[in-house]
Structures are given as C-alpha cells and as structure tokens.
C-alpha cells in the first residue's frame, strides 16, 4: 500500500469517527464523558446571567437533583448553537420589495 493510500484511508476513518461522534451521544459519552454543572457554573459556561438562564430553563434539557437544576455541557452547547443559528438566520432576512 502506498503512502498516499494510507493517508487517504486515515482521513476517511477520521471523518467517519467525527461524524459518528457528532450523531451518537452514547458513543461520544464513552470517549468524552459529559460534564454536569449547576446553575451558577452553567451561567458561566454560557456567559449569560443566572436570571436569564432561569428564564430559559424550559428550552434547555436539564434534570433536577434534590431540587437543584443540573445541566450537561453538551445540552448547553447544543442549545447555544441552535439559539445562535436561529438569531443569525433572523438577522439575514432579505428586504422585501413592494410590487406596484
């Protein structure tokens, strides 16, 4: 096998693993365990005030342990990514033209 073929196979395997990790949380969890955090740490992670995070709790996957909110870094990252893509798509709407 040539060096070029080996590099091509390695690149294919890397791309396959990256896609698999993106699409399968259980596989991702086995390689990189999720980090769980309370409201204060989640607020710092998202770089938003605690009060804003409390107001968005219905939109973010979370759990409760002993009356405390628990967030995973993955859920927060997904929420931030989706939230940012929605706000960007709303900002880039083309101007409507009036037809006379």
Q: How far is CA 89 from the centre of its chain?
A: 17
User: pLDDT: is 97 or 78 the higher one?
Assistant: 78
3-state DSSP helix/strand/coil % of the chain, to nearest 5 = 65, 10, 25
Q: Where in the chain are the domains?
A: 1-32, 34-81
Segment holding 65, helix H or strand E: strand 63-65
Mean pLDDT, rounded, for 66-93: 75
CA distance linking residue 58 with residue 81, whole number of Å: 16
Task: State residue 92's pLDDT score.
Answer: 44
Q: How crowded is the C-beta side of 38, counted as CA atoms within 13 Å?
A: 5
Task: State residue 72's pLDDT score.
Answer: 92
| Res. 29: pLDDT tops 80 | no
CA distance linking residue 85 with residue 9, whole number of Å: 33
pLDDT band at 90 (very low <50, low <70, confident <90, very high): very low
Percent with pLDDT over 90 in the chain: 36
Percent with pLDDT over 70 in the chain: 78
């Amino acid at each position: 096998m040539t060096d070029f073929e080996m590099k091509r196979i390695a690149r294919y395997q890397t791309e396959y693993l990256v896609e698999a990790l993106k699409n399968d949380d259980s596989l991702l969890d086995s390689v990189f365990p999720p980090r769980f955090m309370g409201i204060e740490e989640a607020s710092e992670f998202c770089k938003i005030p605690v009060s804003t995070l409390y107001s968005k709790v219905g939109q973010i996957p979370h759990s409760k342990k002993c009356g405390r909110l628990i967030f995973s870094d993955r859920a927060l990252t997904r929420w931030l990514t989706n939230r940012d893509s929605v706000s960007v798509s709303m900002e880039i709407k083309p101007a409507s033209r009036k037809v006379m």
